[in-house]
Structure 1
Amino acid sequence: MMTMDKSDLQRRMHGAVEALKHDLSGLRTGRASTALLDSIQVEVYGAHMPLNQVATVSVPEPRLLTVQVWDRSNVSPVEKAIHAAGLGLNPVTDGQLVRLPIPDLTEDRRKELAKLTGQYAEKAKVAVRNVRRDGMDQLKTDEKKNEISEDERKRLETDVQKLTDDTIKEIDELSDAKEKEILGK
């Protein structure tokens, strides 16, 4: 007996929102954020490791990131990984401390990032709509198997739609806020 699980739908829709938050945190807005370096993998000790497992990343000033590398032999691989990430950052090394000044964004780059924000939001919305479709399909199946009545199916479909609408609204709010941050409005 497989019936629609509302908490599972909520969890899956929330997962799409969390994935969007993660995607957006990696977009550079001209302000320093440690999240900017979250996706960087450093090749050390014969393996690829996340940057935060070989160094401490901090934001001493609004336009500066610092990376305190724990092991002197890893400074060069950390620099290489930061360059290879394509974030447009130029590491300045001072012993085991790597400074990353955050350059101003050009107007074109701001527009590009705003467009990317929209693409990330659309990807999250598609994921949410797929979860809604799964829920609606399950309700129709449950009704056909006489596990729920037609009235119950309609009531539950309304619940699923409300959950979808609320989640899409949250995605739009996150996306709009990020676009404003990027465009400096």
Structure 2
Amino acid sequence: MPAYNKADLERRMTGALESLKGDLVGLRTGRASTSLLDPVTVTVYGASMPLNQVATVSVPEPRMISVQVWDKTNVGPVDKAIRSAGLGLNPIVDGQTLRLPIPDLTEERRKELAKLASKYAENARIAARNVRRDGMDNLKLDEKKNEISEDERKKLEGDVQKLTDSTIADIDAAATAKEKEILGQ
């Protein structure tokens, strides 16, 4: 059985891109978004749960996130989880509702977030290159085992490179768009 698997390489490259998009969504741009709270986990009922499993998250205004906690005994743990998530948000507790005003970003903070977006993009590019390396190694292995010819290996290496180039272009586009959004351009 050949070691090279094009579908697996495509899946792994797509995974690197999707992971980057997930990381970028979590970067605050000064606008309220429910996805800002996606990384928040709350310890309730003796278990750690995503925030959206214990409360309804909505955006009633452009600079406000509202978190409606379903069980009033969980208001304290939800408040604590949001404060300790490192998002720079300070909830205002109002009964079972937590209101999260989104503060303006300072120029310095915008630059830090843009650098972080670049770092996330570089990690995704490294992941894509590692997938490419695995694909190339598998092709050489298949050639060594006489499962494919040298010409076929070279053709498939070209396909792997095209897939890598395409994925990296998508990564760059996603990172550039997020950096512009953060910097307010």
TM-score under structure 2 length normalisation = 0.98
Within a 5 Å distance, the mapping from 1:103-122 to structure 2 comes to 103-122=103-122
- What per-residue deviation string (whole Å, max 9, x for no partner) do you get for residues 83-123 of structure 1? 10111111011111110010000001000000000000000
* Alignment-derived partner of residue 76 in structure 2: 76
Aligned amino acid, residue 23 of structure 1: D
DSSP 3-state at the match of 1:66: strand
- What per-residue deviation string (whole Å, max 9, x for no partner) do you get for residues 51-100 of structure 1? 11100001111111000000011111111111101111110111111100
Q: What is the aligned residue count?
A: 185
Mapped partners of 1:113, 1:8: distance in 2: 32
Q: Structure 1: any 5+ residue segments left out of the alignment?
A: none
* Alignment-derived partner of residue 142 in structure 1: 142
Q: Note the aligned Cα RMSD (angstroms).
A: 0.7
* Alignment-derived partner of residue 59 in structure 1: 59
Shift of 1:3: 3.2
Mapped partners of 2:19, 2:3: distance in 1: 27
1:180 and 2:150 correspond: no
List 4+ stretches of structure 1 deviating above 3 A. none
- What per-residue deviation string (whole Å, max 9, x for no partner) do you get for residues 109-159 of structure 1? 000000000000000010000000000001111111111111101100000
The alignment-based identity, stated in percent, is: 73
Mapped partners of 1:98, 1:25: distance in 2: 21
Aligned amino acid, residue 2 of structure 1: P
Aligned amino acid, residue 133 of structure 2: R
Aligned amino acid, residue 160 of structure 2: V
1:102 and 2:102 correspond: yes
Mapped partners of 1:159, 1:86: distance in 2: 42
Mapped partners of 1:38, 1:84: distance in 2: 14
TM-score under structure 1 length normalisation = 0.98
1:156 and 2:156 correspond: yes
DSSP 3-state at the match of 2:60: strand
Aligned amino acid, residue 15 of structure 2: G
